[in-house]
């Protein structure tokens, strides 16, 4: 049940938070089908599947887990699906790749029902938990800077300052200034109103236009891609896609867990070392991944963009409910959504500002203890550099036990952490990313 109780929030704040999260993540209903169609998935099929997976996962999160966290197909895993899995291993079709996603989703679902679920969260040392939140903060800010061209590619240094005179950069900086001023003045929903003001300026200056109109009816699913679970399992066995299933499972499990911990910590919703209702929260993602695979999308994940809604005051499932309802509405407004989602300057200020809020977590890391500090530092450093939450977590999990052993404190590390370190090592060393 969704409850406001003792969370110091109200319906209006939650709705504004939902709007904020929605606008920072709605690009996915355009971008995800574009990426998946590179692998041959029909665009309309992927569009509908993206909306269905997002609505199912986010509604589940709202109703059963009561967290202000949205679920949608992850940007890392759609690229992995389209560019590393489909066509590899001697010509894997997208239908077979969806079988692998389906089986990974089912395994994740089973895992979410076992005690291992809460163990996974409790076993993560505090310094790594804070490192994950801070790393996500840097990553999200980097995404905002990169998408708008404020930071751009550089042949020697990889990244460099972009052209600050470019319209997109100027618009972002104006949006950033407007949003920060609104926040300084204590305006509720400043992140969302900042987007509205930026959108209006974009329209007035000709950067935002609605060439394809506003409304269009969503197409119905052309049919399920996976109808028989046993056939899907047979497909995975027949093509020996074990490593692919393992990668999907490991990445989605740790991306989602890391993101949930990060966002819950930001929202003040962690109870000590534990995430209350972790079962329902993980089920939201595993159910969405499984159903999404049946309709035709790559695995879902808890979305880092949810942190913008939390920064806007979202504390309960009402925020997620608003996101889910807005995604249903968005399915009818795909031309409008496409136009706004195509102009990243509108949402980038929220991503950059939220990054600055999330990095405050580094204050809780024991920097004077190298065996605690260095793994956290690796996580914070590598999330933006590798554009992968799961890789950041993997590096932290591998280095943590190693440093504890080097310090003679190997007994302080729970057995499960050693097991995870080995699994992450094997994945990083031997499987494609
Ligand atoms: N946590 C998370 N958030 C995202 N937002 C967009 N893509 C992703 C992803 O792959 N993982």
DSSP, collapsed to helix, strand or coil, labels residue 312 as coil
How far is ligand 1, taken at its centre, from the CA of residue 303, in Å? Answer: 5
Top mutation candidate among 58, 61, 75, 300 for ligand 1, by most atoms within 8 Å of CB = 75
Q: Extract the tokens encoding 329.
A: 């509405």
Residue 433 is predicted with a pLDDT of 65
Burial class for 202, CB neighbours closer than 10 Å (0-12, 13-18, 19+): buried
User: Of 364, 383, 398, at which residue does a domain stop?
Assistant: 364
Higher pLDDT: 119 or 93? It is: 93
Closest ligand 1 atom to the C-alpha of 258?
Answer: 1
pLDDT at 247 over 90: no
Nearest CA to ligand 1 atom 11: 74
Residue-wise pLDDT tens digits, 164-195 = 999 999 999 999 999 999 999 988 889 989 99
Do residues 237 and 127 share a domain?
A: yes
Residue 225 token pair: 């891609």
pLDDT of residue 43: 87
User: Which pLDDT value is given to residue 79?
Assistant: 85
Q: Which pTM does this prediction carry?
A: 0.87
Are residues 276 and 171 both part of a single domain?
yes
> How far apart are the two ends of the chain, measured CA to CA in Å?
38
398 and 353 in a common domain: no
Q: Is 304 in the pocket of ligand 1 (CB under 6 A)?
A: yes
Calculate mean pLDDT across residues 317-324. Answer: 98
**Do 420 and 327 lie in a common domain?**
no
Q: Are residues 305 and 289 in the same domain?
A: yes
25-39, 212-226, 287-301 — which one is most confidently predicted on average? 287-301
The predicted structure's pLDDT at residue 269: 94
pLDDT in tens, 276-319: 999 999 999 999 999 999 999 999 999 999 999 999 999 999 99
Q: Which ligand 1 atom is at minimum distance from the Cα of 136?
A: 1
Question: Are 342 and 379 contained in the same domain?
Answer: no
Mean pLDDT of 197-223: 88
Return all residues near 191 (Cβ < 8 A) that are at least 6 apart. 20, 179, 183, 308, 311, 312, 349, 350, 353, 354
Alpha carbon 334 to its chain's center: 21
Separation CA 377–CA 287 (nearest Å): 33
Ligand 1: centre distance to CA 74 (Å): 5
Q: Say if CB 340 and CB 26 are below 8 A apart.
A: yes
Nearest CA to ligand 1 atom 9: 74
Closest residue by CA, ligand 1 atom 10: 74
Q: Report ipTM for this prediction.
A: 0.99
- Predicted pLDDT of residue 159: 96
pLDDT at 77 over 80: yes
b/e burial code for range 117-153 (CB count within 10 A of at least 16 → b): bbebbebbbebbbbbbbbbbbbbbbbbbbbbbbbbee
Dist. CA 415 → ligand 1 center (Å): 29
Which residue CA neighbors atom 5 of ligand 1 most closely?
A: 303
Weakest mean pLDDT among 55-64, 155-164, 341-350: 341-350
> Within this chain, do residues 289 and 162 fall inside the same structural domain, yes or no?
yes
Q: How far apart are CA 71 and CA 324, in angstroms?
A: 9
Is residue 184 located within the same domain as residue 112? yes
**Domain count across the chain:** 2
Tokens 């057995």 correspond to what residue?
415
Take atom 8 of ligand 1 and give the residue whose Cα is closest.
Answer: 74
The residue among 364, 392, 408 that closes a domain is: 364
Q: What is the mean pLDDT of the chain?
A: 92
Token pair 């993540």: residue: 25
Determine the average pLDDT of the residues in 80-87. Answer: 86
5 pLDDT above the threshold of 70: no
Query: How many whole angstroms from 337 Cα to the centroid of ligand 1?
Result: 19
Secondary-structure breakdown of the chain: helix, strand, coil percentages, each rounded to the nearest 5? 70, 5, 25
Residues 379 and 292 in one domain: no
Share of the chain above pLDDT 70, in %: 97
Residue 407: what are its φ and ψ, rounded to 5°?
A: -90, 0
Probe residue for ligand 1, chosen from 24, 136, 281, 305 as the CB with the greatest number of ligand atoms within 8 Å: 305
Most confident of 85-94, 171-180, 220-229, 327-336: 171-180
Q: Name the residue range of residue 395's domain.
A: 365-432
Mutate to test the pocket of ligand 1, among 266, 304, 388, 392 (most ligand atoms within 8 A of CB): 304
392/402 same-domain check: yes
The beta strand positions in 128-209, using DSSP E, are: 151-154, 158-161
User: In whole angstroms, what is the distance from residue 159 CA to residue 119 CA?
Assistant: 39
> Which two structure tokens, joined as six digits, stand for 62?
């709202």
Q: Which of 17-21, 23-27, 296-300 has the lowest mean pLDDT?
A: 23-27
List helix spans (H) across 92-189.
Answer: 94-112, 116-122, 126-147, 167-184
pLDDT tens column, 102-150: 999 999 999 999 988 888 888 889 999 899 989 989 998 999 999 999 9
Angle at the Cα of 300 from the Cα atoms of 298 and 303, rounded to 5 degrees: 135
Q: Are 363 and 153 in contact (CB under 8 A)?
A: no
Q: Are 287 and 57 in contact (CB under 8 A)?
A: yes
Domain boundary pick from 340, 364, 388: 364
Q: How far apart are CA 357 and CA 320, in angstroms?
A: 20
Instruction: State pLDDT tens for residues 8-18.
Output: 789 999 999 99
Q: Are 33 and 75 within 8 A, CB to CB?
A: no
Band of residue 6 on the pLDDT scale cut at 50, 70, 90: low
* pLDDT reported for residue 333: 87
Return the residue matching tokens 């509720």. 188
**Residues 37 and 111 both lie in one domain:** yes
Does residue 128 have its Cβ closer than 6 Å to ligand 1? no
Whole-number pLDDT of residue 1: 47
Q: Both 62 and 176 in a single domain?
A: yes
């Amino acid at each position: 049940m969704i409850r406001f109780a003792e969370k110091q929030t109200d319906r209006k704040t939650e709705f504004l938070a939902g709007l904020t999260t929605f606008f920072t993540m709605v690009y996915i209903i355009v971008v995800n089908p574009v990426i998946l169609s590179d692998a041959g998935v029909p665009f309309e099929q992927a569009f509908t599947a993206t909306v269905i997976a997002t609505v199912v996962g986010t509604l589940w999160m709202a109703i059963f887990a009561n967290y202000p966290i949205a679920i949608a197909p992850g940007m890392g895993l759609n690229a992995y699906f389209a560019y590393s899995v489909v066509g590899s291993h001697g010509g894997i079709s997208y239908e077979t790749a969806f079988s692998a996603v389906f089986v990974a989703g089912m395994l994740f679902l089973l895992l979410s029902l076992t005690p291992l679920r809460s163990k996974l969260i409790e076993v993560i040392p505090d310094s790594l938990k804070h490192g994950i939140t801070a790393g996500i903060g840097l990553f999200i800010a980097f995404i905002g800077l990169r998408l708008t061209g404020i930071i751009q590619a550089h042949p020697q240094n990889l990244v460099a300052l972009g052209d600050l005179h470019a319209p997109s950069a100027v618009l972002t900086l104006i949006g950033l200034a407007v949003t920060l001023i609104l926040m300084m003045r204590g305006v509720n929903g400043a992140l969302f109103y900042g987007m509205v003001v930026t959108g209006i300026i974009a329209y007035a200056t000709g950067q935002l236009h609605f060439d394809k109109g506003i409304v269009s009816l969503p197409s119905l699913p052309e049919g399920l891609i996976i109808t028989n679970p046993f056939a899907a399992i047979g497909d995975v066995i027949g093509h020996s896609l074990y490593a692919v299933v393992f990668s999907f499972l490991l990445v989605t499990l740790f991306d989602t867990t890391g993101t949930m911990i990060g966002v819950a910590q930001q929202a003040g919703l962690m109870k000590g070392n534990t995430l209350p209702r972790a079962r329902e929260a993980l089920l939201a993602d595993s159910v969405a991944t499984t159903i999404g695979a049946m309709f035709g999308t790559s695995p879902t994940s808890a979305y880092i963009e949810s942190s913008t809604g939390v920064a806007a005051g979202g504390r309960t499932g009402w925020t997620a409910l608003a996101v889910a309802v807005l995604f249903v509405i968005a399915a009818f407004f795909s031309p409008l959504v496409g136009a706004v989602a195509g102009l990243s300057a509108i949402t980038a200020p929220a991503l950059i500002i939220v990054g600055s809020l999330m990095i405050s977590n580094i204050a809780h890391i024991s920097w004077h203890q190298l065996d605690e500090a260095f793994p956290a530092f690796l996580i914070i450093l590598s999330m933006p550099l590798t554009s992968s939450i799961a890789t950041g977590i993997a590096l932290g999990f591998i280095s943590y036990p190693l440093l504890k052993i080097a310090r003679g404190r190997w007994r302080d590390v729970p057995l499960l952490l050693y097991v995870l370190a080995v699994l992450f090592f094997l994945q990083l060393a031997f499987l494609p990313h």
